[in-house]
Structure 1
């Protein structure tokens, strides 16, 4: 059970902008002590799912793509939005993996959830590790996606991590939990 004693009450919300990929709203809130917080801006996004995918022969699949906000091409793990048509978050990550990489996976294991920024973003990212990947089709990308598939040995993958070449922080969070699940790192 979560502690709700510090929760704010939303007194009103005004939508400033609504689009497929971004919704921005201005809230008027009241703290438990009665203080009014106005305006408080919230960015609404759909939930996301991502996974560290491992092929049946033990390779780590990564993707390379351009990210406009940073103006850089980067290396990431596959993932994307959970669609209204997805029956579950597991179905969403299986769909995203298949679309972006062409691989289907024997098992996917849920690792938990994380938030990019809980002070401004309303959504969560659901983290998975996907095991036993087998190439079953070509990529089926969204119209604005251009994704290159990369396969790394564990040693090469760990070198990417060591060199801090993966800058997407939520992807690094997923990688951390996946490596913990796979017993690749241990807590002291």
Structure 2
């Protein structure tokens, strides 16, 4: 018996969209209502979809090994809390990396010495169209004053990296970004440990 390919299985599971209309579409939100049908012929209508641009999140460390956190008001949760710099990718951004550099400079006034793309995940693949890109920025230095939107009020808090725990962040994808960044840094330390030990045992490195 032939085995179904992954594509065949996908086709057996995927819904079809018979029609779509926008409920609201402005500079803040784009809400779409789809009329869908399952492969078994079941109608799902309306199914609401939120269309957003991709988002970026940056785990940023300055040259003094401090983590750059932002403290601001989040109206959905109704609270002021610490988070990572980040935001929505804009049309002027050539890609997610450009968006991350811009958001970091606008929200914190810092620029990265090195920027590492840690990968992306879907925001909420049930009803959101966008992805979140997580970045690690190291050797960050002050560059420009903050450039905030009129509705934004952001305070930058510099926290020694060795005192930070991902549990300090209450936003889900910020915590994920932190865990990915800390794991990356740990792998880098482990990879460099044998080299550093060898240098200590041998002759000093030439200047």
TM-score (norm 2): 0.82
User: For the residues of structure 2 that align with 1:74 and 1:116, how far apart are their CA atoms?
Assistant: 20
The question of 1:176 aligning with 2:183 is answered no
User: For the residues of structure 1 that align with 2:132 and 2:143, how far apart are their CA atoms?
Assistant: 26
- Once the two structures are overlaid, the 10-residue window that deviates more, 71-80 or 132-141, is 132-141
Q: Which residue of 2 aligns with 1:124?
A: 131
Aligned partners of 1:21 and 1:45 also within 8 Å: no
Q: Deviations over 1:76-126 (max 9, x none)?
A: 000011000111110100000001111111111111112332112111111
User: For the residues of structure 1 that align with 2:178 and 2:16, how far apart are their CA atoms?
Assistant: 35
Q: 5+ unaligned residues in a row in structure 1: which ranges?
A: none
More helix by share: 2
User: For the residues of structure 2 that align with 1:113 and 1:103, how far apart are their CA atoms?
Assistant: 23
Cα offset for 1:184?
A: 6.9
Q: Deviations over 1:133-168 (max 9, x none)?
A: 00112111111110000111123222xx3xx44211
Q: 5+ unaligned residues in a row in structure 2: which ranges?
A: 1-5, 189-207
User: For the residues of structure 1 that align with 2:175 and 2:14, how far apart are their CA atoms?
Assistant: 29
User: For the residues of structure 1 that align with 2:175 and 2:39, how far apart are their CA atoms?
Assistant: 35
* Corresponding pairs, count: 180
RMSD: 1.7
Query: Matches of residues 1-188 of structure 1 in structure 2 within 5 Å?
Result: 3=7, 4-5=10-11, 6-158=13-165, 161=166, 164-183=167-186
User: For the residues of structure 2 that align with 1:33 and 1:131, how far apart are their CA atoms?
Assistant: 51
